[in-house]
Copies of this chain bind each other. A is one copy, B any other.
Amino acid sequence: MSTSPRIAIDAMGGDEGLAVMLAGVARARRANDGMRFLLVGDEAQIREGLKTHPNLSAASEIVHAPETVAGAEKPSQAIRRAKTTSMGLAIQAVKSGEAGAAVSSGNTGALMAMSKLALRTMPGIDRPALAALLPSLGENDVVMLDLGANTECDTENLIQFAVMGAAYARSALELERPRVALLNIGTEELKGTDEIKDAAAMLREATHLPMNFTGFIEGDRLSRGEVDVIVCDGFSGNIALKTAEGTARFVTDLLRRAFTSSLRSKLGFIISRPAAELLRHHLDPNNHNGAVFLGLNGLVVKSHGGANEIGVANAIGVAARMVRDNLTARITEDLANFKAHQRPETHTA
């Protein structure tokens, strides 16, 4: 039974409330009994909640936070309450070294702003990125970044995202040499913006890094399982992620409409319910939970606001793997390697 660094849990964040957060923590702990936690939030409520999770008490310490960041709160407001909110104090625990990572289901904008301010970007990284896991037809999920932390990105940003995304895929997906692609509007070398073309040219040269750069990928192939990491600017990444979510919902809505359109269809649907369940399971965001802010001096995982117990446990699992693999150090090392090997002629656009 190894004792890994503790994970700080923003116990009050998210739409589902404290009980679901604690149930998720307890579930994560059942899967890995070396885990220890800092539960950050209202002490009395947490103490009460722990009564139903006897396996957690010995593994947890409570950090009292008198306030909670609201779901609709502006990041600029939330920042001012960093010393009193459960979210702020969970991030603080990462900064002070009391915890190896923080997990929150709370307000994404606030979490991003507070994390950036408290943890600062890593040496060699200009901007942090938000990375998430998407379902695919392949063996594993796909890492995609940036998903909206940055509206505009230059060539250097894209290269740094590729290095960070590959390090994250090695840890979260346990791949040795993840396949990395740049999101573009065509696969030919001449397609896309100058930033993307230049980033591709430089990544093609970076054969010494523990990744396999495969070139460009178009929006219609994101879920085919052909690559492990998809790199993009935050604007198109956000558009692609949300379009994929919306389209999956659109198709399942159409399906529901079609299946309830006649008695015969309803009967067929009831008989094939296990198949529909399989589909639902595969698309359920709880099974792909845990978006990560990469590029900070400390690990912060964003769990879906509406995550259930399984989703929270998955997000904690992502945090634990990153801590175990010392992701921040890996990224630093890969970046140093990339810079050391950069050939002078690839510096120019």
Contact = CB atoms under 8 A, between A and B. Distances in A.
Assembly of this chain: how many copies? 2
Interface centre among A238, A251, A276 (most CB of B within 10 A): A251
A117 interface: no
Interface string A265-279: 101111111111011
Contact of A261 (B185, B251, B261, B278): B278
Interface stretch (A17-25, A95-103, A155-163, A221-229): A221-229
Interface majority SS (helix, strand, loop, mixed), chain A: helix
A222 B235 contact: no
A218 interface: yes
Contacts of A267: 271-272
Interface in A107-157: 136-137, 148, 151-152
A276 B258 contact: yes
Interface stretch (A42-50, A241-249, A297-305): A241-249
A265 B270 CA distance: 10
Contact of A185 (B151, B246, B253): B151
A245 B274 contact: no
B235 A218 contact: no
A240 interface: yes
A201 interface: no
Interface centre among A219, A222, A223, A257 (most CB of B within 10 A): A219
A220 interface: yes
Given A148-B185, A251-B283, A258-B276, A220 B234 contact: no
Contacts of A136: 250
A268 B275 CA distance: 9
A220 B242 contact: yes
A220 B245 contact: yes
Given A151-B192, A265-B272, A272-B267, A251 B251 contact: yes
Nearest to A267: B271
A5 B211 CA distance: 58
A282 B275 CA distance: 21
A336 interface: no
A131 to B, nearest CB: 16
A248 to B, nearest CB: 5
A237 to B, nearest CB: 9
Given A185-B242, A218-B242, A251-B252, 12 more contacts: A148-B185, A151-B193, A183-B239, A218-B238, A220-B249, A222-B243, A243-B247, A247-B247, A255-B255, A258-B282, A262-B275, A265-B271
24 contacts: A136-B250, A151-B185, A151-B192, A185-B234, A185-B242, A219-B238, A219-B239, A219-B240, A219-B243, A224-B250, A236-B239, A240-B243, A244-B247, A247-B251, A248-B251, A254-B282, A257-B278, A259-B275, A264-B271, A265-B271, A265-B272, A268-B269, A269-B272, A269-B275
